[in-house]
Structure 1
Amino acid sequence: MPCVSEEEWRNLLRRKGTNPVLPRHKKTRKIRGGEKMSLPNTVLKIIDKRGMVVDFEIERIIRSIRSTMEDVRGSSRWSHDLRARKYAEKIAARVYREFYNLSWLKSDFIVKFLNYDPEERTERLRRAKVTERLAFAICETFRDTITGHGEETDEQLRKFIADEIRTAKVDPHYTEGLFPKLNEDEIEQIISFLHERAREMMKTEPTPELLYPHREYLQDMVEKELKDIGEVDIAEAYMIFREGRRKIRNGEISPMQFTNNGIHREIVNRTLQWNIEHECETIFSLNDWIYGRHGKDLRELIDLSEKRYHEDVAATARAILDRKDEIKVVIIAGPSSSNKTTTTVIIGQALAAEGLRLKQLNVDNYFFDLEHQPKDEFGDYDFEMPEAIDMDLLNEHLESLLSGKSVQMPHYNFKEGRRDSTFEFHVEEDEIILIDCLHGLYRRLTASVPNRNKFKIYIEAMNVIRNTNGEYTKWADVRMMRRMIRDSQHRGYPMTHTLAHWPYVRKGELKHIIPYIFSTDAVLNSGLPYELPALKTAIGDQFPSREWIEKLREEGRLDPYIRGVRVTSLLETVADFPDMDLIPSTSPIREFIGGSSYIIPHNE
């Protein structure tokens, strides 16, 4: 950081529109007549949502965590407060470590260097946030090593960087396990790269963003730390609340459409009432249907469950018909494996019966090739975000299609992880585009289509059933099992892959899908009371073993570990499905277990 006086610093921040708060640092030293500012040894300031530099208040973190705990787990405010304070201390320490600490930044940079493909490594490192943070920390620490009034020479800077990189300590998981150790050429490549970046930074004026973590960064750390210490449900509730508030600020949803905790109470209460009336609201009562106890016939429960689902879908189709003159695009969105595809096909058939011609557009074809998808420090791909979709091309095609033009639509090969061909796609004036997409409600995805011309449907598998401990089963766990079966049978992925990858699926859902639940024209429940036993039978012995799940804990991957343990325990209490042929071919669950009478693209 260039040496500036307090007056110069205040003038600089005034020019940038930031309130002139001089940062408090662990020490200052005069260099070349200016006031030197070193890296802090704790988090003192942050940048708030208005872009202003304000004091860091740990009490704000404590309150947000405590209120989330109370929302998810009810009473016991005293214990929630104790835990919230402990977690907040860990979060503050993590923010300091990952924003300022040179040792941690060196390790994280090297991990990313090892992780990135050599052909795209330089460009991706230039864009990585850790590069800027590391270069800044190098510059500040380097200046701390200068004594007297000597010039910081280019040779000294390069030698300093070389010493830091050669003595960097990196997690053995990367240097001795998943990735090889750095060789001499790679070390020199890192030194040259960082030398160039640090040399550039030595010449520039500091910005508040370099000096202080942003509020959004702080909230990211809250989510990550809660997950890393095993508080996955608290982290997810926090994420939903945070994303909902962000979307209100951005004008994407109104305060009335704010979901708070991601639960549609009206649908949930209606489903619970139905389950109670039909004696299938607990694992115990569900097992009675499976075993035929107390005069119960499983075929009756199957028929009633299927009827409920299909009647709800038919009602939604009628709502679309009521607006047929203005609707140009029907969007069916929802979290992963919530039956979007089957529901899309059924609605399409219902509308076709009324004379509306439909044209299904599969947004999966717009995925970027796998080689262009980012990896994390574990080497996993993160393509569950809307950014994994080529939204520019999709919107260009939508605009062309609605104006009567033809487009060359890509075809995505999931087993190869790339687009392998294109085909002509055209929509006539009397046709409606039908979109089945995980992120269909994400505004940018269909930005080229006016809102009045869209009918938006949200679908979720709301299985409102209590486990043997009296707790409601997690909808996300049911959908994860559905996806395990689908990925295993139709996409070539083992179930271990699906479990390990699920945190990224949930991250995308919580940020870009669930917060939109109240901004839609219709909400559908695809959860079937009898499907847990059916899923258990379809999974068979392919579910990850306890030994494999235990390795996740040893690696510190608590999110998939907790889910794996929870689902394993749940399946142990569920009876096996007696005969899979009892499930009709028109059932939504057939989308995952196979045997559907509808054309399911990923089953072809």
Structure 2
Amino acid sequence: MSKNKKINVEYEGKVIEVNEGTKILDIMEDLKPKKESVIVAAKIENELRELNYRLKESCELKFLDLTDSDGYRIYRRSLSFVFIRAAKEILSGARISVEHSLSKGLYCEIHYKRPISEDDVTRIEERMKEIVDEGVDIKKDRVPLNKAKDIFKNLGMESKTKLFEFQDRTELNIYTCGWLQDYFYGYMVPNTSYLKNFQLRFYEPGVIIRYPQKENPNEIPEFTEQKKLSSIFRESEKWGEILEVAYIANLNTHIKDNTYPELIRVAEGLHEKKTVEIADMIKEQNKRIVLIAGPSSSGKTTFSKRLSIQLKVNGLRPIELSVDDYFVNREDTPLDENGEYDFEAVEAVDLKLFNEHLNKLVKGEKVEIPTFNFKTGKREYRGKFMQIDEDQIIIIEGIHGLNNKLTEAISDDKKFKIYISALTQLNIDGHNRIPTTDTRLIRRIVRDSKYRGHSAKTTLGLWKSVRRGEKRNIFPYQEEADVMFNSALFYELAVLKKYAEPLLKEITKDDKEFLEAKRLLKFLHYFLSIERDEVIPQTSILKEFVGGSCFRD
């Protein structure tokens, strides 16, 4: 790389000449990029680059801040690195595990010789602020794999050491912040001064790292406790202990040793046990209406079928009522902020008619159920009548199931609300988590290809809109549920891998979805593949996505 060679860098029409090998962060003052929040990374030719990246040729730059998904992940990841260092300095000998998202933050646990206290958390936060104010460089070095394993071993990071026993790479990127070295799945900010906006909150038995969200990148949102979501995550941790599968390396060991069929049977058995418990609760509480809601690719269809079977075992006769048949006529559909039909809004349903019919059905009266003609956009009546007996339960599955507007005419003592989502039970290692969103996204990529003829590019292109609808219509109501069901399976990504990888590899560098496809491929690479689908029961939620479900028409 020649120091004298000049290259051109363009940003939003402005072109400057710099020396080859200049770091991106060194030219930001000249380019004066305007973004909504702190800039943490850049894009060059549809490739994600850290701000420490040295430019090799003429290019066009795009800067990323917290409003961008990749920028948001970089900020959160870098913040967790500083947290790990500060916690280890305040509580010498502690082991830190980064667990999952919670209450618009990142829930972590500190494993120490005694339970941590609120005072411990305050001291860790103060130390984090000191590290941020010091502007400590976060350096990246390419290290031989054997040396990296020695680093992890000396730091007591056993989950990382085991993870890379299954990797075919010879080198690894290791990040350094002061004295602490660590491996992270993804990029970092150049130094700690970029991370000024954060808070810690003691959340027994752990800590929630709080930071701005993409929607409002300069302010930390008001804390809203999610007790039920926290409880289901802790239940998942317990399941992980039962199965002895907390990290990818544990799963890979089962796959390598061919002991995974038993793991699958136990995981499916735990799902069945939870479904039975829910059916028993519905029977004991004498509920008449069961509402099932959850985000995309949670496995709502299979779960509702399995629940129906258990309700029948309990002597009940469940029937399904489709919310889709109660859509308002197309011309009456509400519009979104872009002036387009918003079919996911609760007002897209004829709430008055739906509530009127529910009320009559619960009273034992007969009603004529409409059918919505999706081709004409009109509601039709085709002589389909419904009347239920006292031993019959109405099951309603849909995104608005937890929103009281959908069933406000029915008293709460007659309703049973279930929230279902794939709340990831498995992490890469102690410091690198697998977001629940990624599990659902990979499920959807596989299902959309198999049953809808969609490419991975199409699914990724629609995902932002899907996520927006979930944030508006599902997540605000999840704590309204009477019970939560975690549809994730410890082993599923090892099964989905062989289906998802070829689809993601079809996405080229010229596609705007390329970065996301590359990110997903990278984390799927950590898994050994489970090739034998026949060991998965036909009743499994996973079969809804890979095919072979006994519940699919």
The residue that corresponds to 1:234 in the other structure is 213
Counterpart residue identity of residue 256, structure 2: Y
Structure 1 residues 385 and 464 mapped into 2: Cα distance closer, same or farther (>3 Å)?
A: farther
The residue that corresponds to 2:322 in the other structure is 362
Structure 1 residues 291 and 392 mapped into 2: Cα distance closer, same or farther (>3 Å)?
A: farther
The residue that corresponds to 1:541 in the other structure is 502
Q: Which runs of 5+ in 1 are unaligned?
A: 1-64, 84-230, 246-257, 554-560
Counterpart residue identity of residue 514, structure 1: F
Matches within 5 A, 1:508-523: 508-523=469-484
SS at match of 2:314: coil
Matches within 5 A, 1:326-337: 327-337=287-297
Counterpart residue identity of residue 323, structure 1: Q
Structure 1 residues 485 and 355 mapped into 2: Cα distance closer, same or farther (>3 Å)?
A: same
**In structure 2, how many angstroms separate the alpha carbons of the residues matched to 1:373 and 1:285?**
49
Note the C-alpha offset of 1:450: 1.4
Q: Pick the aligned partner of 1:315 from 274, 277, 282.
A: 277
**In structure 1, how many angstroms separate the alpha carbons of the residues matched to 2:292 and 2:471?**
17
SS at match of 1:482: helix
Q: Pick the aligned partner of 2:530 from 561, 577, 582.
A: 577
Q: Pick the aligned partner of 1:590 from 525, 543, 546.
A: 543
**In structure 2, how many angstroms separate the alpha carbons of the residues matched to 1:67 and 1:471?**
11
Note the C-alpha offset of 1:582: 1.2
Root mean square deviation of aligned Cα:
4.1
Flag the structure with higher strand content: 2
1:189-208 per-residue CA deviation (whole Å, 9 max, x = no partner) reads xxxxxxxxxxxxxxxxxxxx
**In structure 1, how many angstroms separate the alpha carbons of the residues matched to 2:342 and 2:495?**
29
Note the C-alpha offset of 1:417: 8.3
**In structure 2, how many angstroms separate the alpha carbons of the residues matched to 1:537 and 1:337?**
18
Matches within 5 A, 1:365-384: 365-367=325-327, 383-384=343-344
The residue that corresponds to 1:33 in the other structure is none
**In structure 1, how many angstroms separate the alpha carbons of the residues matched to 2:544 and 2:373?**
19
Q: How many residues align?
A: 362
1:324-355 per-residue CA deviation (whole Å, 9 max, x = no partner) reads 2xx22111122222122222112212122222
Q: Say yes or no: does 1:352 pair with 2:317.
A: no
Counterpart residue identity of residue 234, structure 1: Q
Note the C-alpha offset of 1:587: 0.8
Note the C-alpha offset of 1:414: 7.4
Q: Which runs of 5+ in 2 are unaligned?
A: 1-71, 81-103, 109-124, 136-209
Residues 463 and 473 of structure 1 are in contact (CA less than 8 Å); yes or no, is this contact kept in structure 2?
Answer: yes
**In structure 1, how many angstroms separate the alpha carbons of the residues matched to 2:389 and 2:423?**
37
**In structure 2, how many angstroms separate the alpha carbons of the residues matched to 1:417 and 1:498?**
24
What percent identity do the matched residue pairs reach?
31
Q: Pick the aligned partner of 1:478 from 432, 439, 444.
A: 439
Counterpart residue identity of residue 585, structure 1: Q
1:439-493 per-residue CA deviation (whole Å, 9 max, x = no partner) reads 2001111122111110111112122211268311111111122222333333444
Counterpart residue identity of residue 269, structure 1: R
Q: Say yes or no: does 1:269 pair with 2:302.
A: no
Flag the structure with higher helix content: 1
Note the C-alpha offset of 1:380: 8.8
SS at match of 2:295: coil
Counterpart residue identity of residue 266, structure 2: L
SS at match of 1:332: strand
**In structure 2, how many angstroms separate the alpha carbons of the residues matched to 1:594 and 1:376?**
37
Residues 291 and 416 of structure 2 are in contact (CA less than 8 Å); yes or no, is this contact kept in structure 1?
Answer: yes
1:529-561 per-residue CA deviation (whole Å, 9 max, x = no partner) reads 01101122233522364426x6327xxxxxxx7
Residues 326 and 370 of structure 2 are in contact (CA less than 8 Å); yes or no, is this contact kept in structure 1?
Answer: yes
The residue that corresponds to 1:92 in the other structure is none
Residues 344 and 436 of structure 1 are in contact (CA less than 8 Å); yes or no, is this contact kept in structure 2?
Answer: yes
Counterpart residue identity of residue 289, structure 1: H
Structure 1 residues 365 and 478 mapped into 2: Cα distance closer, same or farther (>3 Å)?
A: farther
Residues 291 and 402 of structure 2 are in contact (CA less than 8 Å); yes or no, is this contact kept in structure 1?
Answer: yes
The residue that corresponds to 1:556 in the other structure is none
Note the C-alpha offset of 1:375: 7.2
Residues 359 and 427 of structure 1 are in contact (CA less than 8 Å); yes or no, is this contact kept in structure 2?
Answer: no
The residue that corresponds to 1:459 in the other structure is 420
Higher mean C-alpha deviation, range 435-444 or range 414-423: 414-423
SS at match of 1:441: coil
**In structure 2, how many angstroms separate the alpha carbons of the residues matched to 1:541 and 1:420?**
43
How does the TM-score come out when normalised to structure 1?
A: 0.52
